[in-house]
Structure 1
Amino acid sequence: MSILKLKPSCKDYLWGGSRLIKEYGKEYEGEVLAETWELSCHPDGPSVIRNGAYAGKTLPEYISGEGRQVLGTHCRRFRDFPILTKFIDARDNLSIQVHPDNRYALKNEGQYGKTEMWYVMDAGKDAFLYYGFQREITKEEFAQRIREDTLLEVLNAVPVQKGDVLFIESGTIHAIGKDILIAEIQQNSNVTYRVYDYGRVGKDGKKRDLHIEKALAVTNRIPIVRKNSSYPHAADCDYFTVDKLNLDGRVMQKLSGKVSEESFASILILDGEGTISDEREELAYHKGDSFFLSAGSGTYTIEGSCDALVTTIREKAAQVRIGIDIGGADTRIGLVDVHQKLIAWKTVRTNAMRPAKEVIQEIGQTALSLLEEQGIAMEQCVGAGIGVPGTVDRKNGVVRYSNNIKWEDVDIAKEMGACLPIPIYIANDADCAALGEAAAGAGRGCEDVILFTLGTGVGGGVILDGSIYEGSGISGSELGHMVIVENGEPCTCGRRGCLEAYVSVPALIREALAAAGKELTPEEIFAAAKEDPVVKEVVDTYIRRLGTGIVNAVNIFRPRLVILGGRISEQGDVLIKPLEEQLRQGCFGGEKSGIPEIRTAVLGSHAGMIGAASLI
């Protein structure tokens, strides 16, 4: 099923009329029908599917059942369904109102703000609407005129007629006037700050609430310059692109379009009748109908006579991603652009003794402040990736267990989503470091990479075909816990003989202490090996055991590149040269099968942030 005919959710606000019932055939038992939410996944009124296997189900239920791929790749940047489409019948004047932008709404309302467009379907002879101010006014004058009931004197009254289009950005004060019928496409938000309501009372006999302080905080008090044309589209912004479709039934009787994998298509029939079809089905349409065409459904054909609005979601310009690298001591939060460049970053103490929810909230608030400091609007941010030490369930966004930060079964995607209402992705921190080096570091341009991090422990990640290799489980690859010595030294994981038990920093220090009788740093150990044969044997054994682990991983995954990161990797060629020889001797098939190159990581502490951002 690729063409869904939708039944709207109906709203009976006090200013509404009856045209949507009488002229557009909307099914509603009341006499006043102000709005119909024709394409909606909003919890205040979702659309219901009329046809096919999902008949009687809501549009959100369809998306959940079929998967988010039905929305298209351009919708990946949205956590929620991006738009809400309405018919509005204004028998009387709507209240004077304003919508906040995303930044303000997220901070104060916990949801996105609202930018919208209006298409005037019909209007009375003297119909007009309010659109911004006649002149620039101060915040003080704005407040005074609200108090003194003189606000209408400075608002810009715009006469309208059928076919007019107005684009209302967040922060624009506005109102639909009486005797106007409108099709509205907007961000999927229901946040409205009412400034003036003509003294009317609601069904409860009380005056409706005003939101003056919030309106004063978000309203643009400079006159709006209305564009005469939005060619080639009726409206176009980061949230929606709207195109007008017209068939007169004579000269133009048939038109075909294509729904690619990039975006779904919403077709809102303003007038006329005919059929809409694809290779699988044909449906009749009439004035007022609404259709949802799933992404990737291919070619469709509309025949008959109609005026319609077709809405899609385009690719976002200047995308920014948030990359978060959570460590036992510190957490790094960075902003990464489309070129894998780290724009800016901050470091905060993880302090894992606090409740996980508190830690996550601080990280989220820090990410928001970083966006604000860089002058980057939330709508530019297409998602956040998080690298977490331990065992993570990437599919469900849950940290199953992390010894480093003492977390168990923490739903980090849900908790972070409360601060950052954008798609949230998670992965193991070592996997993120590997992905970062593959995307922007020593492995740039190489899709098959293995990273070994040689530090307090031995971590690592496997990147195959440009993506993190996870296997069928939730823990991904644990390169540091392959056994290289049967019944060998105890490992931090509780087993014996693991690679980590022999080539981590503590392991190297332990072996040097046992051999030389004194505790040395890794740097001192490698320096002493140049003159002390006892210490040299420690280093040679260390490199040989590391080589055993690398050879094992190479023979299993067959990468083109091996990258060494962490503190010990700073030894460079002292490590790499003998490891290259060990690879030549130990790789199955030798030169004929292709021996991978070994390089040192170059991104340092930035790798985890860039890799986390690359999860998106």
Structure 2
Amino acid sequence: MITVSPLYPLKFYPILKQKVWGGTKLQKRFQKKAKGNIGESWEISGVEENISEIANGSLKGKTLNWVLQSYREKLVGEAVYKNFGNQFPLLFKFIDAHEDLSVQVHPDDLLAKARHGSFGKTEMWYILDVEENGKLIIGFNQQMDSKKYLQYLSKNRITEILNVETIKKGDAFILKPGTVHAIGAGVLLAEIQQTSDITYRIYDWNRPDTDGQPRELHTELALEAINFGPSKSKLDYSEEINSPSPIGTTNFFAVNKLVLSKNYLKNLEEVPSFTVYMCLEGSAIIETDDYSEEIKKGETVLIPAQLPELKFITNSASFLEVYIP
């Protein structure tokens, strides 16, 4: 392995995705520099052809893949590197749904590997803001099986069997693979997911894409992936100040909320992986022994696994704190 310089908190240039359903909140609220209807800001990505580039410090300009291959377990942790090697395991996004997203489903690891040589897609949503009548679609509103589902789909009546969740700022949901879902118009959220870009689109509101043509539907592929059983996705959690509040845990990641009203010292030696902070409100200076970096609302930072502690200097900031348990 080549000789490398010490690691430090890493920020990345966002990868901005123009979408037919996107809006302008990511530019206006999070100062993302882009024109047009931006639906997604990929904050940290190891997805092929969408590899994040470091935006700060001595490694500026290097890619996430390069730093992972160079630093290995020092970046992600021994267990994570053993399990995933040179594939960064998580994808972090901010999403602005100006219009309804398509109704869709993601495969699990077994099906995704067999079909695509990829991970499946377990994901978590944290609601940052919601306009009046904003909603999510999660699962079905009645007992369902493949035959009944296909009958409704063939008659263009699928919306009649979908479960609609009313939501508010601060709500959080874990969506397991196989859960039929969609983000409704007027919703701004943070998303944490496995590194996968496999989506089976079921229904797209009969609208054209940016090129004027209907987007492809994946009826047959989706059928085998769908879980027709009941699903409980909404998370119950209590929020504390100046202490991590657990929101939810999956086999692939754990998420806390960290609301700070004063300086805070985080011991990272007890965390078995890298840690990622997505800044939801306010700002903070984060410091290690020999490095400091400001993180502001709408920014994301990756803290390498080898760093023993991190100091937050702030009087008002809130974050999603993500690691691999």
Aligned to 1:47: 52
Q: How far, CA to CA, are the matches of 1:228 and 1:165 in structure 2?
A: 6
Q: How far, CA to CA, are the matches of 1:283 and 1:70 in structure 2?
A: 18
CA distance 1:27–1:68, change in 2 (3 Å): farther
Question: What is the percentage of aligned positions where both structures have the same residue?
Answer: 34
Q: Which amino acid aligns with 2:223?
A: L
| Segment of structure 1 superposing worse, 164-173 or 64-73 | 64-73
CA distance 1:246–1:218, change in 2 (3 Å): same
What SS does the corresponding residue of 1:271 show, helix, strand or coil? Answer: strand
Q: How far, CA to CA, are the matches of 1:274 and 1:184 in structure 2?
A: 21
Question: CA deviation digits over 1:345-367, x for unaligned, max 9?
Answer: xxxxxxxxxxxxxxxxxxxxxxx
Q: How far, CA to CA, are the matches of 2:198 and 2:252 in structure 1?
A: 16
Q: How far, CA to CA, are the matches of 2:189 and 2:137 in structure 1?
A: 14
- For the pair shown, the structure with the greater C-alpha radius of gyration is 1
Matching residue within 235, 245, 253 for 2:262: 253
Task: Give the paired residue count.
Answer: 309
Structure 1 position 56 matched with structure 2 position 61: yes
Question: CA deviation digits over 1:299-322, x for unaligned, max 9?
Answer: 1011221121111011xxxxxxxx
Q: How far, CA to CA, are the matches of 1:81 and 1:167 in structure 2?
A: 20
Q: Indicate if the aligned counterparts of 1:259 and 1:293 stay in contact, CA closer than 8 A.
A: no
What SS does the corresponding residue of 1:60 show, helix, strand or coil? Answer: helix
Structure 1 position 306 matched with structure 2 position 314: no
Matching residue within 32, 40, 43 for 1:38: 43
Aligned to 2:8: 2
> Which ranges of structure 2 fall in alignment gaps of 5 or more residues?
1-6, 239-244
CA distance 1:225–1:274, change in 2 (3 Å): closer
Where does 1:592-603 land on structure 2 (aligned, <5 Å)? none
- Measured after TM superposition, the shift of residue 227 of structure 1 is 4.9
Aligned to 1:430: none
CA distance 1:228–1:191, change in 2 (3 Å): closer
- Measured after TM superposition, the shift of residue 230 of structure 1 is 5.3
Aligned to 2:31: 25
- Measured after TM superposition, the shift of residue 64 of structure 1 is 1.8
Matching residue within 162, 171, 176 for 1:164: 171
Structure 1 position 185 matched with structure 2 position 195: no
Q: Indicate if the aligned counterparts of 2:200 and 2:217 stay in contact, CA closer than 8 A.
A: yes
Greater strand content: 2
Aligned to 1:569: none
Q: How far, CA to CA, are the matches of 1:229 and 1:9 in structure 2?
A: 31
CA RMSD of aligned residues (A): 1.4
Q: How far, CA to CA, are the matches of 2:229 and 2:265 in structure 1?
A: 42
Greater helix content: 1
- Measured after TM superposition, the shift of residue 270 of structure 1 is 1.1
Q: Indicate if the aligned counterparts of 2:275 and 2:305 stay in contact, CA closer than 8 A.
A: yes
Normalising by the residue count of structure 2, what TM-score does the alignment of the two structures yield? Answer: 0.92
What SS does the corresponding residue of 1:2 show, helix, strand or coil? Answer: coil
- Measured after TM superposition, the shift of residue 57 of structure 1 is 1.6
Q: Which amino acid aligns with 1:60?
A: N
- Measured after TM superposition, the shift of residue 198 of structure 1 is 0.5
What SS does the corresponding residue of 1:217 show, helix, strand or coil? Answer: helix
Aligned to 2:203: 196
- Measured after TM superposition, the shift of residue 83 of structure 1 is 0.5
Aligned to 1:440: none
Q: How far, CA to CA, are the matches of 1:241 and 1:278 in structure 2?
A: 23
- Measured after TM superposition, the shift of residue 187 of structure 1 is 0.4
Structure 1 position 120 matched with structure 2 position 90: no
Q: Indicate if the aligned counterparts of 1:262 and 1:296 stay in contact, CA closer than 8 A.
A: no
Question: CA deviation digits over 1:460-503, x for unaligned, max 9?
Answer: xxxxxxxxxxxxxxxxxxxxxxxxxxxxxxxxxxxxxxxxxxxx
- Measured after TM superposition, the shift of residue 246 of structure 1 is 0.5
Where does 1:440-451 land on structure 2 (aligned, <5 Å)? none
Question: CA deviation digits over 1:323-353, x for unaligned, max 9?
Answer: xxxxxxxxxxxxxxxxxxxxxxxxxxxxxxx
Aligned to 2:275: 265
Q: How far, CA to CA, are the matches of 2:161 and 2:268 in structure 1?
A: 44
Q: Which amino acid aligns with 2:9?
A: I
> Which ranges of structure 1 fall in alignment gaps of 5 or more residues?
315-616
- Measured after TM superposition, the shift of residue 67 of structure 1 is 2.7
Structure 1 position 137 matched with structure 2 position 149: no
Where does 1:193-232 land on structure 2 (aligned, <5 Å)? 193-229=200-236
Q: Indicate if the aligned counterparts of 1:259 and 1:294 stay in contact, CA closer than 8 A.
A: no
Q: Which amino acid aligns with 2:268?
A: V
Q: How far, CA to CA, are the matches of 2:284 and 2:52 in structure 1?
A: 22
- Measured after TM superposition, the shift of residue 10 of structure 1 is 0.9
Q: Which amino acid aligns with 2:304?
A: S
